[in-house]
Amino acid sequence: MMTKTPAPPSTAHLALPFFDDAHRALASELLPWCAAQEVDERDDRAACREWVRRLGDGGWLRYAVPGSAGGALERLDSRALVLLRETLGYHSPLADFAFAMQGLGSGAITLAGTPEQQSHYLTAVGKGEKIAAFALSEPDAGSDVAAMAMRAEATADGWLLNGEKTWISNGGIADFYCLFAKTDPAGGTRGITAFIVDATAAGLDTSEHIDVMAPHPLATLRFQDCVVPRTAQLGELNGGFKLAMRTLDIFRASVAAAALGMGRRALAEAIAHAKGRRMFGQTLADFQLTQAKLGEMAALIDSAALLTYRAAWMRDDAEQRGAPAVGDVSAAAAMAKMCATENASRVIDMALQMHGGLGVKVGTKIESLYRDIRSLRIYEGATEVQQLIIGKSVLRG
């Protein structure tokens, strides 16, 4: 259940030149919608399905698919994704997760799907009628994608899939998976192809759920002689690695935005607590040490926000102009993801400390944020991977 939300977050950042009037209108409509939602999140799988339904009914999932599939905009817009995830993350990290996975799980179809694939899957994703998932990670292939062992062999009837995927978000509740498998075992990252696999495919077992510290439906997927048709191939043969990286690049800045939303919520909770908590004849907010901590928290959030908005703007600007980006988009997204997730973790930790014993009480917002934020420093590229991306960009000049 979402706890009582403190005063609505400031919208001053919307006046920044990174955004236009359409983005400002989106944010102004989303804020009251989020505040009006209340979902029982004790069962993360049931809650995730409910959030997908509500986000679809509310029209918000239309921002996760392109206009050709009924999307709200002609193409995926990184700044819209950032604003959506920041606001959803502020109110409910699980709502943010549900929205994000609809986009990430179907992103490869947006980028490389045939007209038939896009018509069949993307329209349903945008309405909340199908739940999407992105299946890349394996037990021995996380950051090291080249170590992938999942095999796809061409047959007379289609493709035969054998192997295992793990840490798959929406595993077990998704209606389809954008799956990546080796079609050339000796080809490294150049031997990977993407496929769309329906959850009903014979030979696919999604029953092994993975419980983690924050509500987040995860599962291990096992493929044993799983046959999919030729039409299940997504994009070019052996072009799956580039497709996966392009998909992640679109959504990496939005991961930063989710962390940003959680950090903003922690700061709001800390401010409300500091103003109301009385000790030694005054409020906690009257102490200079408290004021200094709140100032540090605000600076950490704003610095991450600027990197996040810049990364989203850079990608959108290049897309709209159809020209090379002003700067390295991947490095900018990596900076945003790294700084926002690390900074939000620090902010939430400081907010918890400010709450004292109440901060570690199960069921409080700060306690849940402390668990929610931790995974963001790992998934869709751990902090260390982002550092490598940035470092290589710096060396290239």
Catalytic residue among 38, 367, 380, 384: 380
CA distances to 88, 343, 381 from 377, rounded to whole Å, are 18, 10, 8
Q: Looking at this protein, which amino acid is placed at residue 170?
A: N
Report the chain's C-alpha Rg in angstroms: 21
CA distances to 139, 157, 238, 341 from 193, rounded to whole Å, are 19, 17, 5, 30
In degrees rounded to 5, what are phi and psi of residue 334? -65, -40
SS3 at position 135: strand
**Tokens for 209?**
């759920």
CA distances to 48, 136, 163, 218 from 108, rounded to whole Å, are 21, 12, 21, 20
380 carries an active-site annotation:
yes
CA geometry: angle 326, 330, 334, nearest 5 deg = 120
In degrees rounded to 5, what are phi and psi of residue 234? -115, 115
Q: How far is 312 from 299, CA to CA, in rounded Å?
A: 20
Looking at the DSSP bridge assignments, the partners of residue 198 are: 176
Q: How far is 333 from 248, CA to CA, in rounded Å?
A: 10
Give Cα 183 distance to the centre of its chain: 28
Looking at the DSSP bridge assignments, the partners of residue 280 are: none
In degrees rounded to 5, what are phi and psi of residue 66? -75, 165
Structural contact between residues 180 and 135, judged by C-beta atoms closer than 8 angstroms: yes
Q: How far is 293 from 354, CA to CA, in rounded Å?
A: 9
In degrees rounded to 5, what are phi and psi of residue 162? -140, 135
Q: How many helices (H) and strands (E) does the chain have?
A: 11, 10
Residues involved in catalysis: 380
